[in-house]
Amino acid sequence: VQLQASGGGLVKAGGSLRLSCAASGRSFSRYVMGWLRQAPGKEREFVAAISWSGGSTYYADSVKGRFTISRDNAKNTVYLQMNSLKPEDTAVYYCAAGSNYGLGHYIERGGMDYWGKGTQVTVSS
């Protein structure tokens, strides 16, 4: 599967951005999808994930109540709506997909099976 993330940019603290990730392949509706991020000098962080049906979601404590993950299986696209952005949200955000296990497995593992190129999100204070 190929993943292409977009929507990153520079925003002031308190602002919003919506990331999109377009996926190739016919089996998108069967994939667990997720967003991870990595800031310079920091470990990769699993930000959010969504089950194949969209019925289950996961959020890191650091983004709960501010970020919303969603998917449109008809468009092979997953989104990350980011509100009330903080400078500490600055990172490269990566779209990822999991094809072999359920949502819980990938959360526990802290990673997924496929990755796309990241998109930079910079939040200024």
What pLDDT was estimated at residue 38?
96
Interatomic CA distance for residues 25 and 87, integer angstroms: 35
Note the pLDDT tens digit of each residue in 17-42.
999 999 997 788 899 999 999 999 99
What pLDDT was estimated at residue 112?
92
Of 17, 62, 46, 53, whose CA–CA distance to 32 is shortest? Answer: 53
Q: Which residues of 47-86 are buried (b: 16+ CB within 10 A; e: fewer)?
A: bbbbbbeeeeebbbeebeeebbbebebeebbbbbebeebe
Give the pair of three-digit tokens for residue 33: 């999808």
What pLDDT was estimated at residue 22?
95
Helix residue ranges per DSSP H, the chain: 103-109
Note the pLDDT tens digit of each residue in 32-82.
999 999 999 999 999 999 999 999 999 999 999 999 999 999 999 999 999
Give the pair of three-digit tokens for residue 85: 């952005």
